[in-house]
Amino acid sequence: MSERRRIEHEYQRRAEAPLYRHLYTVFNRANLHAMQSREQSLLALLQRQGLHDLTKTRLLDIGCGSGGELLRWIGYGCMPFNCAGIDLLSSRVTLARLRLPAGTQVQQGDASHLPYQDALFDIVTQFTVFSSILNPEIRRRIATEILRVLRPDGLIIWYDFWFNPINRQTRGVRLNEIKALFPNCHYDARQITLAPPLARYIVPRSWLFATLLEKLPLRTHWLVGIRKSSTT
């Protein structure tokens, strides 16, 4: 089975599994805790990068799914006509087009061959895409494409886990590999997100205790702002 077909099959399996639908809904308190914590960290990252007004920002979301992250960026101030998303699964793209405001550009495609011109976007985001790719060559191709479509001095927002020993259909990405995928850039990296198995146990019992635990080295994800060098 090709890597692309494996990924398509795995995401289709997750879409059809009631367990996955429950895990990643906002009505799951553990997932809500992770989402709100990540949002606080993301907004702090944007402030550190000097981004306070996104009305003119051109943004691309890699692996946009059903459009949830794009909706979030529009809520932060991005104009829909400046936002684009690409996803491998046609079912997700169809749903994203229904959910997102008119003018948002969402299309089905393979991120290793992005259908966009060079230096088009100010920000490119990827949230838990690379960890779903087991093939290191495909990871490198996607990283190269992201750098190609990002303008000089543009920003990549990376959110992905580095540790997940349970799911064999994923492989975590450590910080040294992130830097190897995007060489000669500037990196603003923070470990965030309480380990999900722990969060699922703790959050329903004590939101506050889970928040305090997250300050300990029990975090499983990297949130990284990768600033492209003007010479990259």
Task: Please write the tens of the pLDDT for every residue from 164-190.
Answer: 877 888 999 999 999 999 999 999 999
- Poorest-confidence range of 39-53, 63-77, 116-130, 163-177? 163-177
In this predicted model, which residue has the larger pLDDT, 14 or 93?
A: 93
Backbone angles phi, psi at 203, to 5 degrees: -55, -45
- Within a domain: residue 168? yes
Q: Which of 232, 41, 223, 227 is nearest to 122 (CA)?
A: 227
Residue 144 CA to residue 198 CA, distance in Å, equals 35
> What distance lies between CA 73 and its chain's CA centroid?
12
Residue 44 CA to residue 49 CA, distance in Å, equals 9
Q: Give me the number of domains the chain comprises.
A: 1
- Within a domain: residue 104? yes
- Within a domain: residue 28? yes
**Percentage with pLDDT > 90 across the chain:** 83
- Within a domain: residue 94? yes
CATH of the domain at 213: 3.40.50.150
- Within a domain: residue 165? yes
Which residue type is seen at 228?
K
Task: Give the mean pLDDT of the chain.
Answer: 94
Residue 96 pLDDT: 98
- Within a domain: residue 109? yes
Q: Does the structure show a pLDDT above 70 at 226?
A: yes
Give the list of residues 6+ apart from residue 199 with CB closer than 8 angstroms, or none.
Answer: 30, 33, 34, 210
**Could you tell me the residue range of the domain that residue 192 belongs to?**
3-227
- Within a domain: residue 232? no
The reported pTM is 0.94
Residue 156 CA to residue 150 CA, distance in Å, equals 8
- Within a domain: residue 50? yes
**Percentage with pLDDT > 70 across the chain:** 99
CB 198 within 8 Å of CB 174: no
